């Protein structure tokens, strides 16, 4: 197994622009790639860049209905309009139709497949596909800014091509509903999602009682979080649940969804993680991959709607943890200037240190701790016995 780390990126990812006013801005991917370069991870620390490829229809339909793929392609033509689009989740405020939608979406799916191939061939040990993580897309419906579900496609592809057992860990603030749905009855893919409770946030699912069905019973794990959940609460829950689950499941590869919309300054969510917390979470994932599956780890991006001040720093810190590199805390001036040019606002000064910090009252913290304790207890009661976890 190679110890090398790679990122999967191409400027073609800038074509996945749902609209100029949409909260998921592709500029966040460009700024992440530029920051990874500016801090020297590529030139000084041997992080490789792998270009994505275009996923074939036969690969997309490992997850998606062929008729849905045809509809996405049909609506990708210049000036396309279709009154039927909304029945497929297309043409909505969350998922507007845009030109070359199929090609842009299939390239992101192909990026996940390129990462899977590089890892399973032994070419690299870890790969970070921060342009991916589009975990809400369903079999025949776009949802939550997601057209094709690249992480589910990668998991199904790893099953098909390598007969792999896949542990899927989702740390986006939103429940990974599309991935859970695809593998809900499949014991060869375990889905674990930590997310803000569906009582407060889209997509309104992901409760501890959703544990899978049929042969997949016990292989779907959900921990809903309350607003105000901090690094300390989140990481303790990770330590309590994820290593025992991995030990019982015995994965061949780990796929993680590392949306950074759980950050305290994200405009769409209500959790309270920090960038240093995201980096520590990545370090734990790194250790987990080496402990349980020979280091095979495919990380993806996901949500994150503070496009300039949070996303590039969070995913650069994640890349550094993946590559086992300690970076200078002061951000390069060249990148700060680029960020300011694109945002029109002052750029952050430090990698993981925030210029200001959230204020969270004791009652909110107590609710967050109590919710995690209750969710963890339910998972231990319902899921652990099925898997033989003591």
The single-letter DSSP state of residue 330 is: B
DSSP 86-146: GGGT-SSSSS---TTHHHHHHHHHHHHHHHHHHHHTTS-SEEEETT---TT-BTTB-BTTB
- DSSP H stretches of helix in 137-230: 150-162, 177-182
Neighbours of 366 (CB within 10 A): 12
CB 192, CB 208: distance < 8 Å? no
* Beta carbons within 8 Å of 340's beta carbon, 6+ residues apart: 346, 347
How many other C-beta atoms are found inside a 10 Å radius of the C-beta of residue 92?
13
Strand pairing category for 189-196 and 166-170: parallel
Specify whether 200 is catalytic: no
User: Which one from 102, 129, 136, 263 is the annotated catalytic residue?
Assistant: 136
- The length of the chain in residues reads 390
H-assigned helices in the chain: 27-38, 57-60, 66-74, 101-120, 150-162, 177-182, 231-249, 275-292, 311-322, 333-343, 362-382, 384-387
Structure tokens at 91: 């043409």
**Taking Cα atoms as reference points, which of 117, 127, 146, 160 lies closest to residue 297?**
127
Torsion of CA 213, 215, 219, 222, to 10 degrees: 0
CA 360, CA 228: separation in Å to the nearest integer?
A: 7
Q: Which residues contact 129 (CB under 8 A, 6 or more apart)?
A: 7, 8, 52, 111, 112, 115, 150, 298, 299, 300, 301
Do 105 and 17 meet the contact criterion of CB atoms below 8 Å apart?
no
List, in sequence order, the alpha helices (H) in 202-266. Answer: 231-249
Which sequence positions are flagged as catalytic? 136
């Amino acid at each position: 197994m190679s110890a090398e780390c790679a990122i999967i990126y191409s400027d073609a990812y800038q074509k996945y622009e749902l609209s100029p006013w949409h909260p998921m801005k592709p500029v966040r991917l460009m700024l992440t790639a530029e920051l990874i370069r500016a801090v020297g991870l590529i030139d000084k620390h041997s992080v490789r860049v792998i270009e994505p490829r275009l996923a074939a229809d036969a690969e997309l339909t490992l997850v998606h209905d062929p008729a849905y793929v045809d509809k996405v392609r049909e609506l990708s033509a210049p000036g396309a309009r279709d009154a039927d689009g909304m029945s497929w989740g297309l043409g909505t405020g969350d998922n507007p139709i845009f030109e070359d939608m199929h090609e842009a979406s299939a390239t992101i799916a192909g990026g996940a497949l390129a990462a899977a191939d590089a890892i399973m061939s032994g070419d690299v040990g870890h790969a970070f596909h921060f342009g991916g993580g589009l975990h809400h897309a369903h079999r025949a419906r776009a949802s939550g800014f997601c057209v094709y579900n690249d992480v589910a496609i990668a998991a199904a592809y790893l099953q098909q091509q390598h007969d792999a057992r896949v542990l899927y860990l989702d740390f986006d603030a939103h429940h990974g509903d599309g991935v859970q749905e695809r593998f809900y009855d499949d014991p060869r893919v375990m889905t674990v999602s930590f997310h803000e409770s569906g009582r407060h946030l889209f997509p309104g699912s992901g409760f501890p009682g959703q544990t899978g069905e049929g042969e997949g019973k016990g292989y779907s794990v959900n921990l809903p979080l309350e607003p105000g959940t901090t690094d300390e609460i989140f990481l303790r829950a990770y330590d309590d649940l994820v290593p025992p689950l991995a030990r019982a499941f015995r994965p061949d590869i780990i796929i993680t969804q590392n949306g950074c919309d759980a950050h305290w300054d994200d405009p769409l969510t209500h959790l309270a993680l920090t960038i240093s917390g995201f980096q520590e979470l990545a370090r734990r994932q790194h250790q987990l991959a080496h402990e349980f599956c020979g280091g095979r780890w495919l990380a993806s991006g996901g949500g994150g709607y503070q496009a300039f001040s949070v996303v590039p720093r969070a995913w650069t810190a994640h890349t550094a943890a993946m590559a086992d590199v300690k970076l200078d805390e002061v951000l390069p001036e060249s990148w700060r200037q680029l960020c300011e040019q694109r945002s029109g606002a002052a750029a952050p000064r430090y990698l993981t240190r925030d210029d200001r910090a959230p204020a969270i009252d004791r009652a909110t913290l107590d609710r967050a701790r109590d919710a995690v304790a209750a969710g963890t207890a339910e998972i231990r009661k319902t899921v652990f016995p099925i898997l033989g976890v003591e």
